[in-house]
Structure formats: structure tokens, C-alpha cells
């Protein structure tokens, strides 16, 4: 398989299916409908929780569980002569 074919294959596999999109949209509609049934205090609690999650997402950059690899630290130990 050529590199171009692999790219097309990977792209098509990464895209959600129409069924997945429909299900997510249905879930969003149900959540929005449920929010309309909440009182002011409950809505405020949910908005606070969402704000906390969004702040956390902004901090976590890169792949989860992966550490950033920096420059090696200089060796400051004096060399021994033999």
C-alpha cells in the first residue's frame, strides 16, 4: 500500500460514522433538555463543574501519560584524571 493510500485509509477510519454522529447529537439534545429541568442552584453547580473541567483540559497538553522530554542536564562533576 502506498503512503497516499495509507493516509486515505487512516483518515476514513478516524472519521466517525453517521450513526455515531447521530447518537452523539441525540445525547446532546437529551442533556440540554435535562438542563432545562434543573433549578438555578443545580445549574450553577453544573456550570462550575464544567468550568473546572475546561480549565483542566487547557493545562493537559500532549498525550496523556507522556512526559515532556527536555534537554539533557549538563554534567557539572569534575573529571578525574587517571
46 CB neighbour count, 10 Å cutoff = 14
pLDDT in tens, 19-51: 999 999 999 999 888 888 899 999 999 999 988
Let me know if residue 81 belongs to a domain: no
Task: Look at the chain and report how many structural domains it folds into.
Answer: 1
Whether 35 and 47 have beta carbons less than 8 Å apart is answered as no
Domain range for 27 is: 17-56
Query: What is the predicted pLDDT for the residue at 41?
Result: 94
Q: What is the pLDDT of residue 62?
A: 56
Long-range contact pairs involving 64-67 (C-beta distance under 8 Å, separation at least 24): none
| Cβ–Cβ under 8 Å, residues 9 and 1 | yes
User: Which bin fits 46, alpha (ψ -120 to 50), beta or left (φ > 0)?
Assistant: alpha
Q: Which 8-state DSSP code applies to residue 70?
A: -
Amino acid at each position: 500500500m502506498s503512503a497516499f493510500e495509507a493516509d486515505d485509509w487512516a483518515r476514513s477510519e478516524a472519521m466517525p460514522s453517521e450513526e455515531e454522529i447521530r447518537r452523539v447529537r441525540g445525547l446532546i439534545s437529551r442533556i440540554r433538555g435535562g438542563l432545562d429541568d434543573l433549578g438555578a442552584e443545580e445549574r450553577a453547580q453544573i456550570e462550575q463543574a464544567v468550568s473546572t473541567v475546561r480549565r483542566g483540559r487547557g493545562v493537559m497538553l500532549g498525550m496523556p501519560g507522556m512526559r515532556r522530554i527536555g534537554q539533557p542536564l549538563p554534567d557539572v562533576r569534575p573529571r578525574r584524571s587517571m
